[in-house]
Amino acid sequence: GAESGRAADPDVGSNSLQGYELEDNQYFALEVKQSEEGSKFAELVLRHALDREREQSLRLVLTALDGGDPPRSGTAQLLINVTDANDNAPVFAQERYRVSLRENVPPGSVVLHISATDGDEGSNARITYGFGEMPAKVLQKFAVNAENGTVTLREALDFEDTRSYTVLVEARDGGGLVAHCKVQLEVLDVNDNAPEVTLTSVSSPVPEDAPPGTVVALLKVRDRDSGENGRVRCELSGEAPVQIVASS
Ligand SMILES: [Ca+2]
Ligand SMILES: [Ca+2]
Ligand SMILES: [Ca+2]
Ligand SMILES: [Ca+2]
């Protein structure tokens, strides 16, 4: 039993304490027992699980009745405080986040704000943010603020090196329950590479009777960016009896 109530009635026989009644409620039932000396006492027995997150306290009226005619009764107010147990893990506002960042965003920039809530109270609801298990290469690129869940960039990004990251963030409450979320980060290309021209083969000198169409040099042109940023157009400056033909 959780609590017990005792009532005293100085009368004897049927005018003495006959029983107890408990106000109707969904959690507790009353079990009336008799002590060795013959006095009756009531035990409050829990029938259904409590939930502090639904009801923090309960107020119940306990009535003691005697057997007189008319019966006399006494009441007691029971106040039951429900203390918190860590029965809720943190919950992220989103299970998955998607972010796009231009590759030239400076280190120290905020990538995104992540937040989780916890239904408990006190330390059972205090959330600490951190990263989950990830490759060192990802861990060194980003930082997460343990208190507010803000993810920031630690090192410069490079679209030409890595085009996307999966960042795993954890929220842990003071009681040790953990929740996870995933941040899908896409790196956006910036035109940060100039075209590179390499001469791969030259036939020199060129005989004066070489027929038109003779290949005199092979040029390799490349630009490490993508899309429009990587499209290259070649042109010759000055006057020369040669032209550039795209090979593939
Ligand atoms: Ca909790
Ligand atoms: Ca709780
Ligand atoms: Ca470029
Ligand atoms: Ca680029």
Q: Considering only 15-19, 71-75, 77-81, 151-155, which range has the smallest mean pLDDT?
A: 15-19
220 alpha carbon – ligand 4 mean position (Å) = 19
Query: 87-112: per-residue pLDDT in tens?
Result: 999 999 999 999 999 999 999 999 99
245 alpha-carbon distance from chain centroid: 56
- Predicted pLDDT at 27: 93
**Pairing outcome for strands 178-188 and 196-202:** unpaired
Which pair of tokens denotes residue 16? 């003495």
Let me know how long the chain is: 248
217 alpha carbon – ligand 4 mean position (Å) = 29
226 alpha carbon – ligand 3 mean position (Å) = 7
Strand partners, 61: 77
- Predicted pLDDT at 217: 84
Strand partners, 221: 197
Write the DSSP symbol of residue 160. T
155 alpha carbon – ligand 4 mean position (Å) = 16
**Residue 203 near residue 224 (C-beta atoms within 8 A):** no
Instruction: Please work out, in degrees rounded to the nearest 5, the angle formed at the alpha carbon of residue 72 by the alpha carbons of 69 and 74.
Output: 165
State yes or no: pLDDT of 1 exceeds 50.
no
Query: 143-194: per-residue pLDDT in tens?
Result: 999 999 999 999 999 999 999 999 999 999 999 999 999 999 999 999 999 9
Instruction: Please tell me the number of the ligand nearest to residue 49's CA.
Output: 2
**Residue 51 near residue 43 (C-beta atoms within 8 A):** no
- Predicted pLDDT at 245: 84
- Predicted pLDDT at 32: 83
Mean pLDDT throughout 12-41?
82
Which residues, 6 or more positions from 171, have their beta carbon under 8 angstroms from its beta carbon?
90, 92, 116, 127, 128, 129, 149, 178, 179, 181
Which residues, 6 or more positions from 158, have their beta carbon under 8 angstroms from its beta carbon?
103, 187
State yes or no: pLDDT of 6 exceeds 80.
no
170 alpha carbon – ligand 2 mean position (Å) = 20
57 alpha carbon – ligand 1 mean position (Å) = 19
- Predicted pLDDT at 202: 73
Which residues, 6 or more positions from 199, have their beta carbon under 8 angstroms from its beta carbon?
217, 218, 219, 220
**Residue 190 near residue 226 (C-beta atoms within 8 A):** no
Q: Structural domains in the chain?
A: 3-81 (2.60.40.60), 91-188 (2.60.40.60), 193-248 (no CATH)
48 alpha carbon – ligand 3 mean position (Å) = 68
The phi and psi torsions of 61 (rounded to 5 degrees) equal: -105, 125
198 alpha carbon – ligand 3 mean position (Å) = 16
Helix, coil or strand: residue 14: helix
84 alpha carbon – ligand 2 mean position (Å) = 5
**Residue 217 near residue 201 (C-beta atoms within 8 A):** yes
Q: Considering only 1-10, 41-50, 71-80, which range has the smallest mean pLDDT?
A: 1-10
